[in-house]
Amino acid sequence: MTTLHDIDSGASRLRDLFVFLVTCLILTIALMPMAAFAENEADDGLTVNVLKTVEISSSHRYCWFPTVHRFPTGEIMATMQLSPDEIHPEGDFSAYCLSTDGGNTWSRRYTMGAGCSADGPYTPFARKDATIWHLYSYPEPYPSGQAQRFHDTLTKFSRGGMEILQVRDVILNLSQPGYTAPASLFDWEVRDAAVETEIRGMPWGTIIDSSDGGLLSVMYLITADDRRYYQKDQYYRDILLRSSDGGETWNQYSTIAYVPRDQKPAWMGDEGPNEGSIVRLADNRLYVVFRTGGDGGIGNAWSSDDGKTWTSPTPIGFKGVAPRLHRLSNGALALSTGRPGPVVLRFSVDGTGEKWSHATELFTGMSSRYTDLVELEPGKLLVVYDSIPYGWHAIPYTDKKAKNTIYGVFVEVHKKQD
């Protein structure tokens, strides 16, 4: 006859066995090499190791939207925006930090002021004279009252970030008028400067060489014609800018991608093509990736004639904002992005953009998901991103401990056959 004591004893033995098995599992996991957690084998022949993370800069005020760049002399420059996400050229405020030891430690912030920001396109590699160039993201109508000719600012960083040259009357010409709207503060939603209206759009991403010695970059904007048709402050288009005089004048050269009227593809987000990043592939074609919405698919397009014409935009196969695209020394392409979801890194191993690896997650906390990356040496990357505990809003005065922080994470990536 089975007694209550027998039942209790059996149950006790089962509990003991369960605790033993769980303990063994925990110990097994705990004793596994940490590299097993950091290593991520991409679908198509890559081994990706996520290494240490370092803090670059932090602030109780705004500190977000980072980019990162490397001088030929070894210094690394990380930029960040220190003002709200608002259309306000006179109040736009950015800074940069420098590292002279490969990104392990960083200097204080050096402020740039208006005329240079984390947004806007940079040269992915230093120029022949060891300078890094930046085209400002907020062109101003010049003269005022029209929306087809603008003044912009070209900034050249030299001597490892210790010297800056700015030209504030660079000319930017559009083929058709852009849509302009009142400039205003993010929180007060009122104009707070002499600039009354701003074009809805900006140069963005990268500045690369054209095949004939000129310069190319991407700009996104809403045209005045599209605004009248759609009656909404969305549906951007990506266009290609071209300079033939060393960056003093930029002219609209072609349209990369736009939303055909009443024919928006199902994969495209509700903003239309914007935030485009451009590279030149090994076969000399141009390749652009671009955002289409906060929850929209990333699009891509190719050009075989140095940007005169483009393939029809197609989905890349995953979502994200602010895709930063770079070609690595081994010919592969690296792309950092995020939102929805974490900050991630992906690779096109064959360097064509036709196929992409699965995502390597880098950060899952609250972030703008605006990122950038630089190759420090063959196979070693530094990816930068922000951590913003209160999102787009300022940290409240009552929270004395919270900070907005720019981080850098080191990543090693190798082809399996290497």
3-state SS, one letter per residue, for 271-307:
CCCEEEEEEECCCCCEEEEEECCCCCEEEEEEECCCC
Tell me the average pLDDT of the chain: 89
Q: Residue 118: what pLDDT?
A: 74
Residue-wise pLDDT for 23-61, tens only, equals 444 333 333 333 323 444 445 688 999 999 999 999 999
Does the pLDDT value for residue 232 go beyond 70? no
Residue 243: strand pairing partners: 215
Domain spans of the chain? 1-32
With CA atoms as reference, report the closest residue to 274 among 259, 254, 286, 291: 291
With CA atoms as reference, report the closest residue to 151 among 184, 206, 199: 199
Higher pLDDT, 234 or 155: 155
Q: Residue 43: what pLDDT?
A: 54
Residue-wise pLDDT for 79-106, tens only, equals 999 999 988 888 889 999 999 999 999 9
Query: Angle 239-222-64 (CA atoms, 0-180°, nearest 5)?
Result: 85
Q: Residue 233: what pLDDT?
A: 63
Dihedral sign for Cα atoms in the order 97, 411, 327, 42? negative
Higher pLDDT, 46 or 174: 174
Provide mean pLDDT across the span 120-129.
94
Token couple for 27: 């110990």
Does the pLDDT value for residue 371 go beyond 90? yes
Does the pLDDT value for residue 115 go beyond 90? no
Contacts of residue 81, defined as CB under 8 A and 6 or more positions apart, other chains included, come to 62, 63, 64, 65, 92, 93, 94, 117, 118, 119
393 neighbors 366 (Cβ within 8 angstroms): no
Q: Residue 331: what pLDDT?
A: 93
Phi, psi angle pair for 225, to nearest 5°: -65, -45
Higher pLDDT, 13 or 371: 371
Query: How far apart, in whole angstroms, are the C-alpha atoms of residue 95 and residue 198?
Result: 23
Q: Sorting pLDDT into bands at 50, 70 and 90, what band is 411?
A: very high
Residue-wise pLDDT for 349-367, tens only, equals 999 999 999 999 999 999 9
Q: Residue 89: what pLDDT?
A: 83
Characterize the bridge pairing of strands 149-158 and 64-70.
Answer: unpaired
Characterize the bridge pairing of strands 343-348 and 333-338.
Answer: antiparallel
Q: Which range (132-146, 228-242, 261-275) has the least confidence?
A: 228-242
The pTM is what?
Answer: 0.89
Q: Residue 44: what pLDDT?
A: 65
Does the pLDDT value for residue 181 go beyond 70? yes
| CA 350 vs CA 45, 157, 281, 303: distances in Å | 10, 32, 10, 17
Residue-wise pLDDT for 138-157, tens only, equals 999 999 899 999 999 999 99
Q: In the chain, what percentage of residues exceed pLDDT 90? A: 75
